[in-house]
Structure 1
Amino acid sequence: MIILTGKDLEEVLKPEIAVNAVREAFSLFSSGKVIQPQRQVITIKGNWWGIMPSFTDFSFSTKIVNVIPKNKEKGLPSVQGVVILMSPDTGETLAILEGSILTAIRTASASVLSTELALRSRHIDTLGIIGAGMEAKYHLKITLKFFSVSRVLISARKSHYELAKEYGGEAVELEKLLKESQVIYATTSSDKPVVLGKLLSNDFHVSSIGAHTPTAREIDDDTIMKSKTYFVDSLEAVSNETGDFIEPKRKGIMPQVYEIGEIINKNIKIQRPSIFKTVGIAAQDNITAYIAYEEALKRGIGIKI
C-alpha cells in the first residue's frame, strides 16, 4: 500500500493525464461500467459532508469529503477529504490519497474536458474565473497548461487580486467578466446566481461546479434559456443535488440535456452557447485515483507502508 500526498498527486496527475482520467471516468460511467451507489450526504455542524463509494472491474474506492466554508478564516482549504483505493478482487488496500487535492484536480479537469468538447479547440480567447479559492486556483493551473489562453479575467469577493497576480490575469468586476469571457468557470460557494445571462455574449461556454443543494444556484434562468446545450456529469446526481438543474427543469426552460459520457461515447457535437453542470461523481475519484496509483508505482512516488 502507498500513501499519496497532495504534492505527490500534483506530480503524477499532470493536466493531460488528469483530463484523460476524467474522460475515461465519464465514458465508463455512462456506459454502465462504473457502479456507484448514490452518495450519502450528511450535515455535520452545519457543513456538507459526503461519502462516495464506487467500483469497477479493477478498482474500488471510497471518498469522504466535506465542504467547510469557514475554513478560509483559519487559512485552511474549504474542501477536505481522503480517498481509499482498494482491489475489488483481493480486498487489499492499494493506496490512501489526499482527498482535497484529488478533488480539486479531477473537478478542474472535468471543466477543462467540457471546454475542449464545447470549443473543439485547444485555444481560449478570454477565460473568466468566478471565485478565488482552491477550486479557482486549480482550474487556472490545469487550464493554462492544457489550453493556450489569450486573456484571463478573475472576479471574487476577495483574494482575486492575489490570484490574478500569481497567474497573470486581470482582477475585474463580475459584470466585466461576464460580458467579455468566452469561457466561464463558476467555482463559488454562493447559493445565488453569479452567472447572469443578460450580461453574456451569444457564444459562451460555462462550467459550474458549485450550488450543491436543491435550492442553491450559480447559474440564473436567463443563462439557461440562452444556452443550446446543457450537459452534466450524471443526470441522476444533478436531478437530486443542485438547484441549477432542478429549478430550470421544473420550470420547463431546459435546453437539450446530455451526460458528458454520452457526448464522449457517441461523439455528439455540442452546440454553443453551452453549459456544463457538475456536482462531482464517485467515478471521477475512482478512475483518477487508480491512474494516479498506477503512475506513482511506475515512477516510485509515494510512501510505502
Structure 2
Amino acid sequence: MPVHLSNSEVDMLVDPAGLLEDVESVLRDQGVVAPARLSLEHSGSWLGVMPSAGQGFYAVKVVGVYPGNPERGLPLVRGRLLLVDAGTGDLLLEADAEAPTGWRTAAATALALRLLGGTRGVLGVIGAGVQAEYHLRLLTHVYRYSRVLVYSRTRSRAEELAARYGGEAVGHEELLRSADTVVAATTARSPVVLGRLLRSGAVVASVGAPRPVRELDRGTLQRARCVLVDTREGVLSESSDVDEELVEIVELREALRGKNCPAGEIRVYKSVGTAVLDLAIALHLYRRLARRDS
C-alpha cells in the first residue's frame, strides 16, 4: 500500500542537508527527464499536471488553483504528489503538494546560492508567504548567515516570520541596501528587486511565480552578466523577469555539471519551477521513510 503524507508529515520527515544532496543528484543525472507540463482551465479554476522520470521512478504532481475556495474555507491551491515504481507501476508514495513544493524549491535555491556565493553575510527575504517560509527554514539550516532581514508589505507578517528565524523586519529599501543575499518570494506584479539599490557583489534569487508576477527590474539584469535559471524554457516562456538580450542564461543543471555563469557586479538566479525537482523531493521522502522504518 502507498504511504500517504500530509504537509505536516512531510515537514517532519525532510532532512534539509540530505534533501540538498538528493536534489543535486537528480539535477546532475542526465537520465532524468521532465516534459512540458500540461495545464487546462475549467469552471474558473486551473489544473496543471507535471510528470518526470528517472532513477527507476515516475513522479507526477497534480496541482490546481481554485479561486472560490477561500470563501469556502479551503486552500486556494491544492495538489498531490505521486511517486510510482517505473518497473511495476506500484504507487509508492502520495503526499500533499504544498510542503514538497516549498522544500524542493528552496533546496534548488540553496544549490544556486552555493554556486553564486550567496551562503554567508546578511540574508534578506522579500515576502512572508509559503515560499518565503520554506526558504528561511532551509537556508538558515544549511548556511550560516550573520543577520536575517525580512520585508513584506504587511509589516505584522514580516515581524512574525522574522521572529521564527531570529531575524528582524525591515523596510524594503533597507533590505535591498543591506543584504548580501536577497531572496524574493512574492506575488508582486511590479519589480521588488531594484538593481540601483543592491550592493556590489550581491546575490539575488527570484522565486516568484510565473506571469503576471514580476520581481526583477531592468537595472538588476543590467548589473548581471549572466542569470542562472532552473530551466531556460520555463523562465523564458513563463516569466517576464529575464531578457535574453541583456544577459547570458545558464541552467542550474548545466552549472552543476561545470558550465560557467560569468559574474557581473551582482549574481542572479531565477526559478519558475520544474518537475525534475518534484522527482527529487519524492525520492527524498521515499528514502527517508525507508530508513525510518528499517
C-alpha distance in 2, partners of 1:300/1:218? 43
- Note if contact 1:26-1:261 (Cα within 8 Å) is conserved in structure 2: yes
* Aligned counterparts, 1:263-282, within 5 A: 263-266=255-258, 268=260, 271=263, 273-282=266-275
- Determine the structure 1 residue equivalent to 2:234: 237
- Determine the structure 1 residue equivalent to 2:3: 2
**Structure 1 portions without partners, runs of 5+:** none
SS at match of 2:120: strand
- Determine the structure 1 residue equivalent to 2:144: 148
- Note if contact 1:41-1:48 (Cα within 8 Å) is conserved in structure 2: yes
TM-score, normalisation: structure 2: 0.90
C-alpha distance in 2, partners of 1:177/1:67? 31
TM-score, normalisation: structure 1: 0.87
State the shift of 1:279 in Å. Answer: 0.8
State the shift of 1:271 in Å. Answer: 2.2
Q: 86-95 vs 19-28, which deviates more? A: 19-28
| Structure possessing the higher relative contact order (Cα contacts under 8 Å, 6 or more residues apart) | 1
**Structure 2 portions without partners, runs of 5+:** none
- Determine the structure 2 residue equivalent to 1:228: 225
Residues 58-115 of structure 1, C-alpha deviation per residue, up to 9 Å, x if partnerless? Answer: 1101101245688788887654321011011111101101210000000111111111
- Of 205, 208, 221, the residue aligned with 1:207 is 205
Q: Structure 2: which amino acid aligns with 1:293? A: Y
- Determine the structure 2 residue equivalent to 1:167: 165
- Determine the structure 2 residue equivalent to 1:294: 287
C-alpha distance in 2, partners of 1:108/1:77? 21
C-alpha distance in 2, partners of 1:204/1:68? 37
Residues 141-178 of structure 1, C-alpha deviation per residue, up to 9 Å, x if partnerless? Answer: 11111011100110111111111122221111111111
- Note if contact 1:102-1:285 (Cα within 8 Å) is conserved in structure 2: yes
State the shift of 1:290 in Å. Answer: 1.3
SS at match of 1:149: coil
Task: Determine whether 1:262 maps to 2:254.
Answer: yes
CA-based RMSD: 2.3
Of all paired residues, the percent bearing the same amino acid is 32
- Note if contact 2:227-2:261 (Cα within 8 Å) is conserved in structure 1: no
SS at match of 1:266: coil
Residues 193-243 of structure 1, C-alpha deviation per residue, up to 9 Å, x if partnerless? Answer: 111111111111111111402x54210111011113211111121121111
Aligned residues: 290
- Determine the structure 2 residue equivalent to 1:98: 96
Pair 1:168–1:76, CA change in 2 (3 A)? farther
- Of 68, 73, 86, the residue aligned with 2:84 is 86
- Note if contact 1:118-1:270 (Cα within 8 Å) is conserved in structure 2: no
Pair 1:149–1:221, CA change in 2 (3 A)? same
State the shift of 1:56 in Å. Answer: 1.3
